[in-house]
């Protein structure tokens, strides 16, 4: 006779396996649609093949294409984002595959992993269905991350690294957080802001010193990593005119109107976050606030229309936005039938 406890364990394992398979199928379909169908029309369009190859070679050699400045190619700071480029170059050389093919594989694997990671991260607060709803919010916004660029192969790796950082943070795995954080800075230098997530998440009036010291220590590791990259790969860091950048962002927003990607992404997340504010847990609200604060440097120093570069903010806003969606649907279900 089977032990009842063993039977329950097996049933639980089977249930978790079915859950994973179902979630993985949703994530896989979204990944294929975004990367292979939408991607072939935008990022991986044949008309941009030469420019992608030029930028790949330029980053490998730390020399901007055609003797121009990095800024003239809209590639300020890109020369230090060599980690993913090196990975693809070595995999392509080892397998004999085309670099574009390897870049697509990296995108597919990382986007799929990021969506699955996000699902299990959201289970820190939610049951299965609300967590899946949060993933579907991300899936809804993903097509907007495939616009306005032709070579940003670090976008999907950095998405999965931010999802991993949030997972580590909410489970107080600070050593793992530090390891993922350093890797994220090496992949994309603006991940340096991620250390501030610790301070926002854990600082209290009666307990501010420890979170501050931990934030400073982990942030220092990120600065060391960034400094090493800048020393190894000099150049590419052109000064940014903040006034001109703000004016450019304003012009793009005015020309696109309601189709402005940041309006669609942050309008939705902010509205849902406000709906969930009163019922959300303190950690959700703190992450939400941090996500909004992180948007300020993007607005001042980057082309704000490129929401693909702001995945850290999106993932930090997501838990409270999911809570807002859940609270709203629960309120409808709890109201008397008309």
pLDDT, position 9: 58
pTM: 0.91
What is the per-residue pLDDT for 148? 78
- Report the pLDDT value the prediction gives residue 4, as an integer from 0 to 100: 57
Half-sphere exposure of 11 (CA within 13 A, CB side): 7
Question: Which pLDDT score is estimated for 330?
Answer: 78
Determine the pLDDT at residue 329.
84
Contact 284, 165 (CB under 8 A): no
Q: Which residues of the chain have pLDDT under 70?
A: 1-11, 331-338
How far, in Å, CA of 33 to CA of 122, rounded?
23
Rounded to 5°, angle at Cα 172 from 166 and 175? 90
- Classify each residue of 127-147 as buried b or exposed e, where b means 16 or more C-beta atoms within 10 Å of its C-beta: eeebbbbbbbbbbebbbbbbe
Structure tokens at 106: 């990296």
Q: How confident is the model over 72-85, as pLDDT tens digits?
A: 777 777 888 999 99
């Amino acid at each position: 006779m089977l032990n009842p406890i063993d039977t329950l364990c097996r049933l639980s394992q089977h249930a978790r396996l079915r859950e994973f398979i179902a979630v993985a199928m949703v994530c896989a379909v979204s990944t294929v649609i975004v990367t292979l169908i939408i991607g072939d029309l935008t990022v991986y369009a044949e008309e941009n093949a030469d420019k992608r190859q030029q930028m790949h070679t330029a980053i490998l050699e730390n020399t901007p294409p055609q003797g121009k400045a990095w800024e003239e190619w809209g590639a300020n700071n890109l020369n230090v984002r060599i980690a993913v480029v090196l990975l693809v170059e070595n995999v392509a050389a080892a397998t004999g595959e085309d670099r574009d093919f390897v870049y697509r594989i990296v995108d597919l694997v990382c986007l799929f992993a990021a969506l699955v990671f996000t699902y299990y991260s959201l289970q820190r607060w939610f049951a299965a269905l609300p967590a899946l709803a949060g993933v579907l919010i991300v899936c809804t916004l993903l097509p907007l991350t495939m616009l306005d660029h032709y070579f940003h192969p670090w976008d999907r790796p950095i998405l999965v690294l931010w999802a991993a950082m949030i997972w580590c943070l909410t489970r107080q795995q600070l050593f793992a957080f530090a390891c993922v954080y350093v890797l994220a800075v090496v992949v994309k230098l603006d991940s340096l802001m991620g250390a501030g997530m610790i301070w926002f998440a854990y600082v209290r009036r009666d307990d501010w010193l420890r979170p501050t010291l931990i934030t400073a220590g982990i942030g220092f590791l990120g600065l060391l990593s960034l400094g090493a990259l800048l020393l190894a790969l000099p150049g590419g860091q052109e000064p940014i005119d903040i006034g001109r950048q703000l004016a450019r962002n304003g012009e793009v927003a005015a020309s696109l109107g309601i189709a402005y990607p940041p309006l669609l992404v942050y309008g939705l997340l902010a509205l849902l976050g406000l709906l969930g504010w009163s019922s959300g847990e303190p950690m959700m609200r703190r992450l939400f606030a941090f996500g909004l604060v992180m948007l300020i440097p993007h607005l001042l120093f980057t082309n704000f229309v490129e929401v693909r570069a702001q995945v850290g903010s999106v993932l930090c806003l997501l838990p409270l936005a999911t809570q807002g969606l859940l609270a709203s649907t629960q309120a409808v279900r709890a109201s008397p039938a008309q």
